[in-house]
Every structure is written in C-alpha cells, then in structure tokens.
C-alpha cells in the first residue's frame, strides 16, 4: 500500500507506478478497482481557516469530523451536507474531505444551496503523469483560468488525485424547523414538496419516507424568521394533508442524508436522479424492496434484491435520468456497471478527458470506463 505524507511523495508514487493505482481517501468505500492501493489518509491537516472570510483550506486526507468540529467552534458548517456513507455501505474507515469532493457528495440541502462542487474555491491535485496542478484560489473572488475545480468534483479520482481543497463555508443557522405532512402516496408527497419548494419560504430540504407516510420540509435561518415561515408554510400545506411539526429535526435530516432506513438491510442499493414529476411514474416500476425520496422527489434511493438492474425500469418508463449502483456484490457490478451509460458524444468527451489527465491509465482504471458518466454522486 502507498501512503504518501505530502504532495511531493504523492507525485513520486504516481510517476513511479508500474501498475494501476486504486485511489482511496479514508477507506470508507474501499478499493473499487484492481491495483496497488494509494491511500490519502496520511495527507491530513487544516492549512488555513479564516472564519471572517468564510474560507477553509485542508489537505485531502483530513477527516471530515476534524473539519466539522473546527467549523462548529466558530458557529459555521459545510453547507453542502456531505453524506456519511459508512452505514449504507456497511463499511468502516474515516470520511475525508478529499473523498467527499471526489464523489461530489451532496445532501438534502442540494436543492437550495447547491452541490459540493459549488462550494469549491480551489484545488490542488496530481494528474496521471505526476504533474502537480493548481486551479482556483483561496478566496471567493478568484475567477481566473479553466474551471478544473468543478471538473475534479465527482471525477472519482480518475482524472487526478486531490492533495488540497479550498472551500467556502457558511454560518450555522440560528434555528432549524421541519414541517411534516401526512400523505397517502408518492404523488401526494411530490405535490407537498413541490408546493413548499415553489413557495417564498426558502425551503432547504424536501424529502418523503413511504414507510411513515410523511413528506418532510425543512426551514433554516434566524429564529424569528423560521417561526414565521414555519407557521405560514404549515398553513399552506394543511390543505394537502395533516401537518405535524417535528421535534427531532437534526436527527431526522441526518438519517435522510445517510439513508439510515437502508442500513443493515440485505440487498443492492441504487441512487437514481430524475425529475420529481418523473419519480411518480417511475417508482411503481422499480423492483425495489424499499424506497426513499429526497430533493423534492428528484433523488430516489432504492433497495433491491441482488442483481436487479434498475436501469431497465428507467428505460421502460421512458424517463430521462441516471441510476448509480452504490452497493452490490462484485459480480453484479461487473455485469451491469456502477454508473449510468452516457450518450455517445459525451462518452467521446469523457474518454478524451481521461486520456489528457491520465495518459498512462493508472488512476482508478476502469472505475469510469468508456460508456460511464462522471460526476453523478451529487449531481
């Protein structure tokens, strides 16, 4: 196993690679491809934090818990709400900031605040030729050069290995509230969530749990504002179902973010991104044991029996979207692929990008093979 302690050592490992490298952050997802393990957990540490400028710079292997603790001490947070995937994957390890950015991990707040890539100010990474590349900066006003920053987010380590990330952070809200509405089915839930998202009340989360039959809507901000918006929104949603104000708001949205309902359950886990209106048509066609809906219905988590190919249902419903196989046995991944096949034109562009950034084909080789799409984790 290669475990570089700094950027120079990382470049040496890549330059000297005589076989493919399996790049991983803190080991929460394990190696997904064959090759020599390249672990980034040794490249850890917060290099710059300026609370007044809402800016943080950290090495890629820095544990998420360390960053979150530092931000919390100043009343701030990472607004993109990165998922802790260990529960649903049944894995261990330590989530790192580089890993979160590499998969563009973005939680329920994605519908209001954007994805992980939208909070990236700059990156440093080592490409497949061993070159150290810097793009972006450490301040929010830096807009020069090609936008490799967003390209790296969601590339799963196939274009380069992140060594440092610069992030915009935001203040933690003074108050958080959840309005929950009892609904009869997904169609009613989507109506509730769409109504809330189309309202002027600045909703930061909209999810539906079929087991409880509740559609949840989150509000955040200054306490007087949250109370006012909660009252007004509850009044508007009453016509769509019985309204309840949740008391364990933070726990509820953490469970939604981490798909707690699927943790410890047997089967494959899929992550499907579609238009919320298409979710109503698609859901009944999915051969799923359990479903969970986020992003106003646009993100579907599906638990299926082993070997079920959700993409056939996607095609059969005539729905435009993409389905990522998040958890499955190696034989299933080998048979149907982890990522959604893409259009021929995009496939050509993706292949050319990989050749330019990794001419020797040593970085996570085959993880996003030809015919697969990049950047889908938090798209």
Range(s) of the chain covered by CATH 3.30.70.1710: 175-257
pLDDT for position 248: 81
With vertex at residue 123, the alpha carbon angle to CA 120 and CA 129, rounded to the nearest 5 degrees, is: 145
The residue to which tokens 């799409």 are assigned:
373
* pLDDT at 245 exceeding the cut of 90: no
Q: Please determine, looking at this structure, whether the domain spanning 265-336 carries the CATH number 3.30.70.
A: yes
Rounded mean pLDDT, 270-292: 94
Measured between alpha carbons, how far is residue 237 from residues 15, 136, 221, 232, 297 in Å? 59, 43, 20, 9, 17
For the stretch 348-357, pLDDT in tens is 888 899 999 9
Return the CA Rg of the chain: 21
Q: Over range 280-297, report the average pLDDT.
A: 95
pLDDT digits (tens, 9 = 90+) for 174-206: 999 999 999 999 999 999 999 999 999 999 999
Contact 133, 124 (CB under 8 A): yes
pLDDT in tens, 358-371: 999 999 988 876 43
Q: What is the pLDDT of residue 365?
A: 87
Measuring CA to CA, how many Å separate 347 from each of 302, 340, 354, 374? Answer: 26, 11, 11, 10
Quick count: other Cβ atoms within 10 Å of Cβ 17? 18
Report the C-alpha gap between 354 and 103 in whole angstroms.
16
pLDDT classification of 379: cutoffs 50, 70, 90 = very low
- pLDDT digits over 111-168, tens only? 999 999 999 999 999 999 999 999 876 654 444 556 889 999 999 999 999 999 999 9
Q: Residue 95 pLDDT more than 50?
A: yes
The string of pLDDT tens digits covering residues 16-50 is 998 899 998 888 876 677 888 999 999 999 999 99
pLDDT at residue 370, rounded to an integer:
41
Is a pLDDT exceeding 60 seen at residue 329?
A: yes
User: Rounded mean pLDDT of 217-238?
Assistant: 96
Mean pLDDT of 252-267: 96
pLDDT(280) > 90? yes
pLDDT number for residue 22:
92
Global pTM reads 0.91
| Sheet of 214-221, strand order | 243-246, 175-182, 214-221, 203-209, 288-294, 299-304, 268-274, 321-327
**What residue spans in the chain does CATH classification 3.30.465.10 cover?**
7-171+353-357
pLDDT, the chain, mean: 91
Average pLDDT over residues 89-97: 92
Region 7-171+353-357: CATH code: 3.30.465.10
Fold of 175-257: Alpha-Beta Plaits (3.30.70)
| Structure confidence at residue 27 (pLDDT) | 83
pLDDT at 368: 76
For 122-141, give the DSSP string: EEEEEETTS-EEEEE-SSTT
For residue 371, the model assigns a pLDDT of 37
Look up residue 235 and give its two tokens. Answer: 């009044």
Q: Count Cβ atoms below 10 Å from residue 54 Cβ, excluding itself.
A: 18
Instruction: Please answer whether residues 108 and 207 qualify as being in contact, where contact means their C-beta atoms are separated by less than 8 angstroms.
Output: yes
Q: What is the pLDDT of residue 33?
A: 79
Supply the angle between the helices 223-237 and 186-197 in degrees, to the nearest 10.
Answer: 140
pLDDT of residue 26: 85
Confidence of residue 208 (pLDDT cuts 50, 70, 90): very high
């Amino acid at each position: 196993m290669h475990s570089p302690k700094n950027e120079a050592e990382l470049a040496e490992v890549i330059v000297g690679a005589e076989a493919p490298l399996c790049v991983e952050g803190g080991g929460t997802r394990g190696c997904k491809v064959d090759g020599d393990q390249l672990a980034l957990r040794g490249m850890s540490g917060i290099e710059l934090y300026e609370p007044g400028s809402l800016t943080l710079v950290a090495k890629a292997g820095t544990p998420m818990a360390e960053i979150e603790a530092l931000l919390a001490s100043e009343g701030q947070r990472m607004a993109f709400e990165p998922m802790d995937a260990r529960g649903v994957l049944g894995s261990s390890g330590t989530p790192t900031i580089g890993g979160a950015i590499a998969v563009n991990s973005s939680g329920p707040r994605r519908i209001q605040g954007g994805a992980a890539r939208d909070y990236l100010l700059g990156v440093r990474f080592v490409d497949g030729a061993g070159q150290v590349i810097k793009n972006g900066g450490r301040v929010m006003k830096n807009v020069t050069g090609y936008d490799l920053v967003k390209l790296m987010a969601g590339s799963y380590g196939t274009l380069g290995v992140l060594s440092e990330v610069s992030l915009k952070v935001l203040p933690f809200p003074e108050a958080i509230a959840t309005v929950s509405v009892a609904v009869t089915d997904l169609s009613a839930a989507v109506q509730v969530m769409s109504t809330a998202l189309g309202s002027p009340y600045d909703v930061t989360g909209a999810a539906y749990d079929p087991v409880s039959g509740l559609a949840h809507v989150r509000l955040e901000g200054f306490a007087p504002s949250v109370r006012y918006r909660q009252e007004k929104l509850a009044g508007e949603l009453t016509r769509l179902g019985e309204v309840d104000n949740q008391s364990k708001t933070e726990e509820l949205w953490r469970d939604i973010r981490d798909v707690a309902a699927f943790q410890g359950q047997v089967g494959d886990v899929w992550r499907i991104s579609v238009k919320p209106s298409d979710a109503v048509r698609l859901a009944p066609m999915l051969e799923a044991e359990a479903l969970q809906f986020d992003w106003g219905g646009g993100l579907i988590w599906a638990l299926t029996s082993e070997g079920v190919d959700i993409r056939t249902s996607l095609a059969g419903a005539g729905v435009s979207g993409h389905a990522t196989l998040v958890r499955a046995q190696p034989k299933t991944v080998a048979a149907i692929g982890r990522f959604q096949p893409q259009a021929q034109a995009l496939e050509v562009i993706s292949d050319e990008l990989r050749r330019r950034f990794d001419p020797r084909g040593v970085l996570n080789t085959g993880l996003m093979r030809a015919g697969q799409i990049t950047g889908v984790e938090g798209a």
